[in-house]
Structures are given as C-alpha cells and as structure tokens.
Amino acid sequence: MSESRPVPKLKVLGIAGSPRRDGNTDLLLRQLMAGAASQGAEMKTVILSELNILPCRHCDGCLKTGKCMVDDDMQWLHTDLREADRVVLASPIFFMGVTAQTKAMIDRCQALWVIKYVLKLPVAINPAKDRKGIFVSVGGTRLRNLFQPAIATVKSWFTTLDINYDGELVFSGIDEREAILRYPTALKDAFAIGQKLAASSTPK
Ligand SMILES: Cc1cc2nc3c(=O)[nH]c(=O)nc-3n(C[C@H](O)[C@H](O)[C@H](O)COP(=O)(O)O)c2cc1C
C-alpha cells in the first residue's frame, strides 16, 4: 500500500506597507488574507512600519554574493519573499507612489536582483512553482492614472522576484482612516480575491 504524503500548504505572505495601523489598506489586506486562509493556505503578514528596514545604500556589497550587507529585518524577509507562493503587497498612494516603508523594502530587494540577473541563480526557493502576486492600494484623490506609477514599481519588483503579477485591488477617493468601510463591496471583493488567489493552484 502506498503512503499518501500530506500536500504542502500554499504559503501566502501579506505585506502591510502603510504607516497607519488599521487604516484602509490594512483592512483590505486583512480581508484578502482571510479569504486565502479560508482555502487552507499558510498565512503570514508582516507590518513594515513595525520592522527595522533601512533604505538601500547602494554599497554594492551584494554584488558578488547576493547577500545584503545591512543587518536588519530585511535579512529574514528576503527568505520569506523567496519562499512565498503568493505575495500580497498593500500600500496606499503617497505622492503618487508607494509609501516610504514599502519603497525601502522594495529597494532592499536589490540583493535578490543580483541573485537573478548577476549570479543567474533562481530567486524562488522552488523555481518550479508558479508564484503570484497582487497589489492592494487606495488613494485619497480620484486622479486619473492615480495607481499607474505605483503599479509600475510593484510590477518591476515582482518581476525581479519571479512573481507573476496577478492584478490589483485599488480604490480612489479613500482618505480618512476607515473610509473603505463606506465602499459597499470593498471588503467582500478583497475576501473573494484572497479566496481565488489561494485556490488558483496547489504548490508542486
Ligand atoms: C504623505 C502622504 C502622501 C499622500 N499622497 C497622496 C497622493 O499622492 N495621492 C492620493 O490620492 N492620496 C495621497 N495621500 C492620501 C492617502 O493615500 C490616503 O489617506 C489613504 O487612504 C491612506 O491609506 P491607509 O489608511 O491604508 O494608510 C497621501 C497621504 C499622505 C499621508
């Protein structure tokens, strides 16, 4: 009789990029993660404003080894990013881009850029996996193309991490702390996207 091995759980990493706790992107991220959890995924959420992540100093220390020289929370977050099957990045729009906390984290992935493009090694711990990522955002204004600069940044970061961009959940005209709660379908939409993200395939 053959023994059936347990199917590994899909790993979903949520990244909260707003400095405002329990704000709009936090609420959306929480719902999205709850949706993914309902599919049996293994969840982890990191709150960037509570971590110690310095900006990249372009010292080129990572250039030969792919290891960042700056010893802070980015060291373990690199591992989480390389292991995740799904990444959900949530950041509001600050001056037409992602928040400083989010951008510092993204820039510190230069070491992973080196692994991929200089050392020509796999960035993902299991390169056979189909990794996917989603961007969650809100902005206070209703400017046309409000999210486009941030989406360009996030896509470039996902590409470096060998994560396929699976779309965005964005809302304009959302400014005060819980304004998103007045948006009739926002939290339900976030939950459904999380369900779909975790259900779309099983890890190999
Ligand atoms: C420093 C700063 C810059 C901002 N820049 C923009 C902006 O360029 N465009 C915009 O639509 N909203 C801007 N906002 C508004 C936020 O995107 C908005 O308040 C959002 O709801 C905050 O999300 P959170 O509750 O998840 O923190 C800015 C807010 C701050 C504090």
List, in order of start, the domains of the chain with CATH numbers.
Answer: 11-199 (3.40.50.360)
Summarised one tens digit per residue, pLDDT across range 13-57 is 999 999 999 999 999 999 999 999 999 999 999 999 999 999 999
Q: How far is CA 104 from the centre of its chain?
A: 13
Lowest mean pLDDT among 53-57, 140-144, 163-167, 197-201: 197-201
Contact 32, 191 (CB under 8 A): yes
Q: Is there an atom of ligand 1 within 6 Å of 170 CB? A: no
Q: Is there an atom of ligand 1 within 6 Å of 50 CB? A: no
Question: Does pLDDT of 115 surpass 80?
Answer: yes
Q: CA–CA separation, 26 vs 32, rounded Å?
A: 10
Question: Rounded to the nearest whole angstrom, what is the distance from the C-alpha of residue 141 to the centroid of ligand 1?
Answer: 8
Alpha helices in 108-173 (DSSP H): 110-113, 148-160
pLDDT confidence of residue 5: 74
Question: Does pLDDT of 202 surpass 60?
Answer: no
Summarised one tens digit per residue, pLDDT across range 134-162 is 999 999 999 999 999 999 999 999 999 99
Question: Does pLDDT of 3 surpass 80?
Answer: no
